[in-house]
Amino acid sequence: MRQRGLRRAEHAEQVDLDRLAQLCRGKRLERSVHADAGVDHREAQPAGPGDTGVDRGAQRGGVAHVGDERRGPPAGGLDRPSGRGKLVAAARDERDPAAAPTELDRDGPADPGRRPGDQAADRVDDQFHGAIVPLRYTPPVLRIGPLSIAPPLVLAPMAGITDRDFRLLIRRLGGCGLVSMEFISCEGLLRRRPGTLKLLHFVDEERPLAIQIYGSDPDRMAEAARTVEAMGADVCDINMGCPANKVLKGCAGAALTGDLPLARRIVAAARAAIRIPLTVKFRLGLREDRMTYLELGRICQDEGADAVTLHARTAAQQFGGRAEWLHITLLKQLLSIPVIGNGDVRSPENAADLLQQTGCDAVMIGRASLTNPWIFRQAAALLDGRPSEPPTMAERHKLMRDHFEEVVRREDERGALHKLRSFTGWYTHGLPEGRQLRRQLSELATPQAVLDAIDAFFAGRAAA
């Protein structure tokens, strides 16, 4: 059940990514034709909350573009920061598959059973594997515009999961520098759809808070960014990484890694619309043979984004395979704005490894926080050189009880029952007799019955 919940998208029918790229480019050209003809092809929309009709771009007085000069990797290779070794591999021009191999590719004949980049990733693993975090290591402070995020650990936006209750739970456990709301459709936000508005509730205790939006129309995305700012978010984040079919078919999310001109227009429009920090999250590209992350990173920097997050997988991988951290290293070497690394952070040690191996500015953690909500606290302790003990059974019981009482208080009975069953599956993962509890909960009909069964489960473990 847990695997189905975490990886449902992996088993859905896969979108034809080549056809998708052509379709999205066609839609972009159609929008351009309408704009040139002076035709507004969108429906009239009600104003979003906080819309004052003021031209926020004019208030900003223009965009302060970061890194007007486009910088590529130095000809001699990429030097890793702080003397932590040297990667002699220059970033291969991803648009030219016939480009000369890098030194990391010259280790002998390729193993036909391995994916491209595995040799490079293994070299990085071998070079930096060892003591997880020496006491002399000082983790960076993530600075996103005027915000200082410490520790440099970020809760990823996850649909159906990172609601107000889960964000508060993570914040109260400690160790998380920035929490992210579930990603929000710009059309749902601007049309004020009830289901979307329900997701937008937050409290000051969660700050700093990022709200992530997705869409494919630059003007609508700019308006959604203004709404996010008016709501009081600390950071506005643009989703260019979601591989879900329903998002890809709308030419949004990871589809934008295949349409860089449209991605540029979206970032530029959002940046001109708001004053709060703007960030962009994206993947390596649509597929391994169509990686665009370096160019997209330069676009985000040139158009004024304050930071970027790279999930080191392609859209075709969804959440399968392995995240190739080497690409986070290359992006960090290329850009001057902060780079947040994401992908395959399953433990506190992984978070420390990702910071050290890639030189990135922060780590974003997603699915691992479902089975171990204490991962941020544990990783923060590890970065400080302090020991971090695993949670006790009593702590697990308290966390579940506190979280579930909030869910029952805020959700209708059907919604609460679904969430309680889902989170129980994650929270009890790996516990003795956890499967038996999950099987029992699937047969219960009310949230209160679920709470009673959880209390009885932990009472039995305490008496044992």
Claim to verify: residue 191 and residue 283 sit in the same structural domain: yes
Claim to verify: residue 229 and residue 193 sit in the same structural domain: yes
Helix (H) or strand (E) holding 301: helix 293-302
**3-state class of 308 per DSSP?**
strand
> Helix H segments across 92-163?
118-128
Mean pLDDT of the chain: 75
Sequence-distant (≥ 6) Cβ neighbours of residue 61 within 8 angstroms: none
Claim to verify: residue 352 and residue 412 sit in the same structural domain: no
Residue-wise pLDDT for 154-193, tens only, equals 999 998 889 888 999 999 999 999 999 998 999 999 998 9
The closest of 157, 164, 212, 216 to 184, measured between CA atoms, is 212
Claim to verify: residue 398 and residue 377 sit in the same structural domain: no
Instruction: Provide the domain count of the chain.
Output: 2
Residue-wise pLDDT for 211-263, tens only, equals 999 999 999 999 999 999 999 999 999 999 988 888 888 888 899 999 999 99
Confidence of residue 436 (pLDDT cuts 50, 70, 90): confident
Extract the tokens encoding 305. 């984004």
DSSP-derived letter for residue 201 is -
Q: Please give the model's pTM, rounded to 2 decimal places.
A: 0.71
Report the amino acid identity of residue 77. G
Residue 253 contacts residue 197 (beta carbons within 8 Å): no
Sequence-distant (≥ 6) Cβ neighbours of residue 205 within 8 angstroms: 168, 171, 172
- Point out the residues that are catalytic: 242
Domain edge (last residue) among 341, 359, 383: 383
**Angstrom distance (rounded) from CA 252 to CA 88:** 35
Extract the tokens encoding 202. 């937050």
Claim to verify: residue 271 and residue 302 sit in the same structural domain: yes
Confidence of residue 64 (pLDDT cuts 50, 70, 90): very low
Count Cβ atoms below 10 Å from residue 21 Cβ, excluding itself.
17
**3-state class of 217 per DSSP?**
coil
* 46 falls within a domain: no
Extract the tokens encoding 223. 């308006």
**Angstrom distance (rounded) from CA 401 to CA 415:** 17
Report the amino acid identity of residue 134. P
Confidence of residue 439 (pLDDT cuts 50, 70, 90): confident
* 44 falls within a domain: no
Claim to verify: residue 155 and residue 295 sit in the same structural domain: yes
Which CA distances in Å does 265 have to 138, 213, 262, 269, 272? 37, 15, 5, 6, 11
Residue-wise pLDDT for 257-285, tens only, equals 999 999 999 999 999 999 999 999 999 99
Residue 297 contacts residue 331 (beta carbons within 8 Å): yes
The closest of 427, 370, 319 to 155, measured between CA atoms, is 370
Length of the chain, please? 464
* 311 falls within a domain: yes
Which CA distances in Å does 161 have to 27, 128, 351? 32, 33, 21
Look at residue 288 in the predicted model and tell me its pLDDT: 87
- Return the residue matching tokens 């952070």: 345
Confidence of residue 299 (pLDDT cuts 50, 70, 90): very high
* 231 falls within a domain: yes
Residue ranges making up the domain that contains 156 = 9-28+136-383
